[in-house]
A = this chain, B = another copy of it.
């Protein structure tokens, strides 16, 4: 199958910098982009799609999510974190059945595809069950089975989180033509004993793969780790060897300059989650500093129960403005850096060097943004328009690996009605346990 997009405004990348082509052409053959230019290509494509009034940009990567937690969103709004977890989240989460993980995951994928997300990094339970949602929908994902191990009574040899993680990795890493990556994880320093963590770090380094974790999200976690271990979460993770794997660390709100130097040296990606950091009162991550140091910074929503959606346009917007407010400097966090965070940096986080930009030879992970709307005129600066003016609802097409999965409100690989039906059944079942 080959498709030629014509009359498009295209955010392409040349020599590492974004460039906007007006009224241009982008050709897709199979899974790959095979043409970008201002002139119509000589080659004939099976289908031509008019993208007049549309911006084509790379698909968005949600760098940190807890998918099926969308079933819990809105519960215990505005409670302090611990109270929210203990009284609102955990009592219901413990009741979730396999089908609830599936219905939550499918609903998240509907939301992601409609809002331009072509890949996401997920940390949650029952990945052996939810992997089929990735297979069927056509989206990309790096999924990890959340691993927690507090308590001295855990026997590493029979630790179920470990077995499930390894089993999942063995069976599904690279599945579905590499759309699914299975990464390793510990939830966070404060939810695992050092003894278990050390054994796990040693084992996964031998197995190889990528590592996903939470780092210094709250001051309490950061300071608590120093009290527990005499070092910051970053140093603790690094010393245990986790960062010898390609790694991505969610939040990093309270990371020190020394922490940032470790992350830079180890090539760790920071996943910035601005909505979550604001809403939960976690604080302002040192993102401009990390960017200035050359650290790869991607962007994520965190779980939609603490967000409360998976709208990456909201994250781009927040990332672009809150740091200006915090530092009283309007010149930082430029639109190009923000778009890079939401696209290429996320692809690199996931070890996907074949996507993240619109360039010939890259995988065709592409979204189209409609500009025929009052809030999208005029266009003096297309990158600024995407970051400051655009809404997730302006996304009118989402393509992954050359296949259109979403177009003008229609899902081409998913049964929207069935997903809603199953989701509402899960919601009905779970809401009975809500306090």
Contact = CB atoms under 8 A, between A and B. Distances in A.
Interface in A370-395: 373-375, 377-381, 384-385, 388-389, 391-393
Contacts of A123: none
A286 to B, nearest CB: 14
Interface stretch (A16-24, A142-150, A194-202, A272-280): A272-280
Given A78-B330, A278-B324, A391-B393, 15 more contacts: A73-B389, A79-B330, A80-B330, A107-B377, A114-B374, A279-B321, A279-B388, A281-B325, A281-B330, A284-B326, A307-B388, A377-B420, A377-B424, A378-B424, A392-B393
A374 B283 CA distance: 28
B389 A309 contact: yes
Interface in A227-283: 275, 277-283
A384 B431 contact: no
B389 A334 contact: no
A74 B384 contact: yes
A291 interface: no
A314 interface: yes
Contact of A328 (B281, B335, B431): B281
A238 B373 CA distance: 42
Interface in A382-435: 384-385, 388-389, 391-393, 420, 423-424, 427, 431, 434
A385 B309 CA distance: 10
Interface of A: 70-71, 73-75, 77-81, 84, 107-108, 110-111, 114-115, 219, 275, 277-284, 304, 307-311, 314, 317-318, 320-322, 324-332, 334-335, 373-375, 377-381, 384-385, 388-389, 391-393, 420, 423-424, 427, 431, 434
A433 to B, nearest CB: 12
A325 B327 CA distance: 14
A416 to B, nearest CB: 9
Given A375-B310, A378-B71, A283 B328 contact: yes
Nearest to A74: B380
Contacts of A427: 377-378
B375 A111 contact: yes
Nearest to A380: B74
Contacts of A392: 391, 393
Contacts of A378: 71, 73-74, 423-424, 427, 431
A78 B321 contact: no
A199 to B, nearest CB: 35
Nearest to A84: B330
A420 B332 CA distance: 33
A391 B378 CA distance: 21
